[in-house]
Amino acid sequence: MPLMNSHEVILVQMVLFPLLTYLPTSATRSLLSNSFPCPQAFFIFGDSITDTGNIQLLAPGLAATTLNYPYGESYTFTNERGHNRYSDGRLIVDFIAQAFGFPFFEPILLELEKGFKTDYTHGVDFAYSGAVVLPNSTVTPIHLQVELDQFFVYKKALLSSPQPSTPLSFLPTAAYLIPEIGINDFTNAYVEGASPQTVIDEILPKSLNVVVSVVKQLHASGARTIIVGNQPPQGCSSSILTAFLGTGPYDTIGCLDKYNKVNKVFNKKLKQALTKLQESYKTDGTLIIQFDFYNALTELYTNPAQYGFNPSTKLEACCGFGGPYNYNRNVTCGDSGNVSLSTGGTQFVNISTAPNPKEHIEWDGIHFTQAAYKIIASFFLSGHFFISPLGFNFKHLCNLDFSQF
């Protein structure tokens, strides 16, 4: 049973062309405050949570990459083509850029399109919507190692250019950000009929090994500030809740516990692996920052009213149609078509509006609203929900400005 919306179902079926992990003492925190080099650029990896347009540039005109209104309804990105983010507005990485006073991070394929003539002074986005961790050409050829290889190509082009358009001085102080990755691997497995326990036993260990390998490769290439977020609670998404309606058990929030368990197991093992890596890198100034995306998002689901969300719709898609979670995999946000009714017959639906996205955590059943991303970004930048290093605070250390939020 497909779990993704129609955009991503088409995407994964198509053929595309040829974190400091020990607990710091007060002295350590003081040392961080005095010596931490604030990032002058961000290199970003991941999937649709962080993609600022790569998939649209890779396959322009494909239904999977055509984000019709109301995608982008809550924010106008000047000098950018159409709607290219899987949300009603800005993503976490957009808020990070604004807080640091950087331009929005542009997709790497825009750089390639312009022949490396764009001034990417403050970083590049290598994320692709639909990307996976494990190589899987039958679903999508875009996986995490492909993104990393593109970064290596980009870096080599910069270093070999006699007059690089981008100053090379930012490379030693850049941050390498993977806010979340691997959810699509699990989703694809569920689509193919795998149980949560099968995912834990067979897919999760392989995914973890790849993520750890990528962190090692980044470090070997010279990265010294590496930020890795763990996985969000997938059992709270309206697409999963709809696809496995009534299968239970449900937790106190109303999420499907056995799907969240997969993310919890992955997150626990990721923490252990990154903690071990940090220990091995502690003599060369490497800082591995671990962000707890799972519990940051759980905070919103648990206390929605505190953050301006409507408690009665906390698990419903803002932009969707039908069912207890306002989600229908056959006609999703920005789409139109006939849907079957529980009472019999069909109804033509045109999902061209999404009222009150500020009151919703979930946007289209898979992704989140700008309002939710804003709060998650604020958590991240202010040092909340850091697994390690405890007490680390970008806002304080880098004198960040949240006024554009």
Radius of gyration in angstroms for the set of CA atoms belonging to the chain, rounded to a whole number? 20
In this prediction, residue 158 carries a pLDDT of 77
124: helix, coil or strand?
strand
In this prediction, residue 62 carries a pLDDT of 72
Query: In this structure, what token pair is assigned to residue 373?
Result: 């991303």
Q: Where are the alpha helices (DSSP H) in 163-203?
A: 183-191, 196-198
Tens place of pLDDT for every residue, the chain, 405 residues?
444 443 443 333 333 332 222 233 333 334 454 578 899 999 999 999 999 999 988 887 776 677 899 999 999 987 666 678 999 999 999 999 999 999 999 899 887 766 655 556 788 999 999 999 999 877 888 999 999 999 998 888 777 766 655 566 667 789 999 999 899 999 999 999 999 999 999 999 999 999 999 999 999 999 999 999 999 999 999 999 999 999 999 999 999 999 999 999 999 999 999 999 999 998 999 999 999 999 999 999 999 999 999 999 999 999 999 899 999 999 999 999 998 887 888 999 999 999 999 999 999 999 999 999 999 999 999 999 999 998 899 999 999 999 999
- pLDDT, tens digit, 9 for 90 and up, residues 177-220: 999 989 999 999 999 999 999 999 999 999 999 999 999 999 99
Rounded Cα–Cα distance for residues 191 and 187 (Å): 6
In this prediction, residue 391 carries a pLDDT of 86
- Minimal CA–CA distance to 191: which of 16, 366, 369, 367? 366
In this prediction, residue 139 carries a pLDDT of 80
- Minimal CA–CA distance to 248: which of 231, 230, 264, 260? 260
Q: Which CATH number fits domain 6-398: 3.40.30.10, 3.30.200.20, 3.40.920.10, 3.40.50.1110?
A: 3.40.50.1110
In this prediction, residue 59 carries a pLDDT of 82
Domain locations along the chain: 6-398
In this prediction, residue 18 carries a pLDDT of 28
- pLDDT, tens digit, 9 for 90 and up, residues 224-250: 999 999 999 999 999 999 999 999 999
- pLDDT, tens digit, 9 for 90 and up, residues 55-67: 988 887 776 677 8
- Minimal CA–CA distance to 51: which of 118, 170, 142? 142
